[in-house]
Amino acid sequence: MSTVQRTRWWHDRLVRDALSMAAAMAIVGASLGAIAVGKGVPLWLITLMGAVVFAGGSEFMVVGLVTAGAAPVTAVLGGLMLNARHFPFGLAVGGLLDRGWPSRLLGSHLMVDESVAFALAQPTEPERKRAYWLVGVALYLAWAPSVFVGGLLGARIGDPAVLGLDAALPAALLALITPALREHRTLRAVALGALVAVATTPLLPEGLPVVAGLVGLAAALPLPKGVAAR
């Protein structure tokens, strides 16, 4: 690759954004691996989960539920509820995938919040397709290896809270949603969900307060016209 080509490549804003997001998610993936192994999950299992499931929020929740003694079916149902948002995602970006089943299978596996968000932010269909695949592939290549490396780290340090890794996911999610909080409906949903999750934390097993917080989605529904006008 020539110097001119390298310069053009780096000055491509989408490429820079994708790599920046991948670097951030690698930190979150490492925290997942460290937390899981620190709580007794086998390294091979959490690494396999990172490669096959590829859904950070669900993986954190499953680790929390299972290590807290919850039944596997509870963890599975919680993961399905958390990932139900992928149904509208599929409707929004399904046209960006080629018609062949290998492309659709791989493309659906790369369907995460970030790849969908970057794709929908582009003005034309070719740019949306490029953004979807570029961001999805970059995040996937960063996620599973970082989970494995974090698991190795967790096996050595024992308690991941010593390095503050248990706070990595909440910090990353907060950074991601902060720009969206300018929208009132989103702010209402986040506030209600957070309130429910915090209130139920002393009452429910680890991981379940996150599921309970999904009731905050009700606050994102449009208000009746009479209420909205007040």
Q: Is residue 172 part of a domain?
A: no
Query: Is residue 204 located within the same domain as residue 111?
Result: no
- Long-range contacts at 115-121 (CB < 8 A, ≥ 24 apart): 115/139, 116/89, 116/92, 118/14, 118/17, 118/18, 119/93, 120/92, 120/93
Query: Is residue 106 located within the same domain as residue 40?
Result: yes
Q: Is residue 178 part of a domain?
A: no
Averaged pLDDT, 121-142: 89
User: Range of 160's domain?
Assistant: 3-166
Q: Give the Cα separation of 18 and 20 in Å (integer).
A: 5
Query: Is residue 153 located within the same domain as residue 218?
Result: no
DSSP H helical ranges for the chain:
3-10, 13-38, 43-52, 56-67, 72-82, 86-93, 101-109, 113-120, 125-157, 168-177, 184-200, 208-212, 225-228
Q: Give the Cα separation of 25 and 76 in Å (integer).
A: 23
Q: Give the Cα separation of 128 and 218 in Å (integer).
A: 30
Q: Give the Cα separation of 117 and 12 in Å (integer).
A: 18
Q: Is residue 229 part of a domain?
A: yes
3-state SS, residue 84: helix
Query: Is residue 120 located within the same domain as residue 36?
Result: yes
Q: Is residue 58 part of a domain?
A: yes
Averaged pLDDT, 5-12: 54
For the chain, the domain total comes to 2
Q: Is residue 173 part of a domain?
A: no
Q: Is residue 154 part of a domain?
A: yes
Q: Is residue 144 part of a domain?
A: yes
Report residue 208 as tokens: 């379940």
Q: Is residue 141 part of a domain?
A: yes
Q: What is the pLDDT of residues 24-56, one digit of tens each?
A: 888 888 888 888 888 888 999 899 988 988 887
Query: Is residue 49 located within the same domain as residue 138?
Result: yes
**Torsion angle defined by CA atoms of residues 177, 181, 187 and 192, in that order, rounded to the nearest 10 degrees:** 30
Q: What is the pLDDT of residues 65-114, one digit of tens each?
A: 777 777 777 777 777 777 777 777 777 777 777 777 787 888 888 888 88
Burial class (CB in 10 A: 0-12, 13-18, 19+), 65: buried
Averaged pLDDT, 136-157: 87
Report residue 74 as tokens: 């509870």
Chain-centre distance for alpha carbon 43: 20
Averaged pLDDT, 141-166: 76
Query: Is residue 204 located within the same domain as residue 119?
Result: no
Answer with the one of 121, 139, 166 that is the final residue of a domain.
Answer: 166
Q: What is the pLDDT of residues 198-213, one digit of tens each?
A: 888 888 766 667 677 7
Query: Is residue 76 located within the same domain as residue 116?
Result: yes
